[in-house]
Amino acid sequence: MRILEFTVPPSYESVKLRGFLRGYCALSARLLTALKQVPGGIQVNGLHARVLQILHTGDCVRLCLPKDGKIPDPVPAPLAVVYEDADLLVINKQAGLPMYARPGHDASLCGAIGSYCRTTGERFAFRPVYRIDKDTTGLVVLAKNAYAAACLAGNIEKTYYAVCEGCMRGAGSITASIRVKPGHTVQREACDAGAGEQAVTHWRALADDGRFTLLACRLETGRTHQIRVHFSSSGHPLAGDDFYGGRTEWIGRQALHCGRMKLTHPVTGRELEIIGSFPDDFKELLKKMGVKNIQTLAAND
């Protein structure tokens, strides 16, 4: 069981417990309802409390988060852990590993987490805060409890590194909307505003060799295939991304890596910056471009 404790600040003097939990603690309505069903799940100063109770400055509010009832079915797969604590697990995902199992492809990050839980003795559900494509590599944040998941949703600043075809210099933003391509179920396309979902990608060129450009990308929105669609629609498909018009001579999958992230820890409030090392095929592509010290370049972006 994960126990969280909060001290009531002066700004919440004489506020009902419900308001404190929803406001100060950022508790979701769903989690609040679940905690109300747990004996002793919500306590004030060591005693069981009702959500209509009035709080006072200095009161200690304790939440007792129950352990998850079921862990993912284990399916062994390589798992590179780059950060872990009682609330978070951050993985540097390899290429070829989908988030969930699919027909003909049993290995998945979900199954790998099941194996990890079986090995370590931990017990938590598979809660990715966001998803990345099967052949996109890099950092994936998993929340070990519902509280961490609710706090982190939409609150992680991620930097993706991509290699696109052609020469791009300077910096800019792509704002084309994105929709499912007519006649397809997976493939997306850029479209006019109002015809799809709004999507915004900010990019900065880090290096180029005249044929390819290394980019740092940050997303305001998180649409499926967003970076891949945006650069393809701009005439600069990602290297290796034949699904969106890229050539595969130099790399056999889309050259896209979630390599850096910043977040505020949902429980401690500590600012975290996490770096995910580049995979070998990405580093080999950059070597052919003449890019050196890529990890240093990314860290200084």
**Maximal C-alpha separation, the chain:** 67
Question: Is 208 designated active site?
Answer: no
Domain covering 68-153: architecture: 2-Layer Sandwich (3.30)
Is residue 248 within 8 A of residue 113, CB to CB? The reply is no
Q: CATH top-level class for 2-65?
A: alpha beta
Q: Structure pTM?
A: 0.91
Segment-wise mean pLDDT, segments of 10 residues, the chain, 301 residues: 94 97 92 91 96 97 89 91 97 96 86 95 94 97 94 92 97 98 96 95 96 97 97 98 96 98 95 96 95 70 68
Distances from the Cα of 1 to the Cαs of 87, 104, 230, 243, in angstroms? 11, 36, 43, 44
- Summarize pLDDT for 193-224 with one digit per residue, the tens: 999 999 999 999 999 999 999 999 999 999 99
Contacts of 234 (CB under 8 A, 6+ apart): 174
Q: What is the pLDDT of residue 297?
A: 64
Q: Which of 59, 87, 133, 135 is catalytic?
A: 133
Domain covering 155-301: architecture: 2-Layer Sandwich (3.30)
CATH 3.30.2350.10 domain residues, the chain: 68-153, 155-301
Q: What is the pLDDT of residue 299?
A: 62
Rounded to 5°, the CA angle 286-287-293 comes to 80
- In the DSSP assignment, the letter for residue 240 is T
Is residue 190 within 8 A of residue 181, CB to CB? The reply is no
- Summarize pLDDT for 19-70 with one digit per residue, the tens: 999 999 989 898 999 999 989 999 999 999 999 999 999 999 999 998 887 8
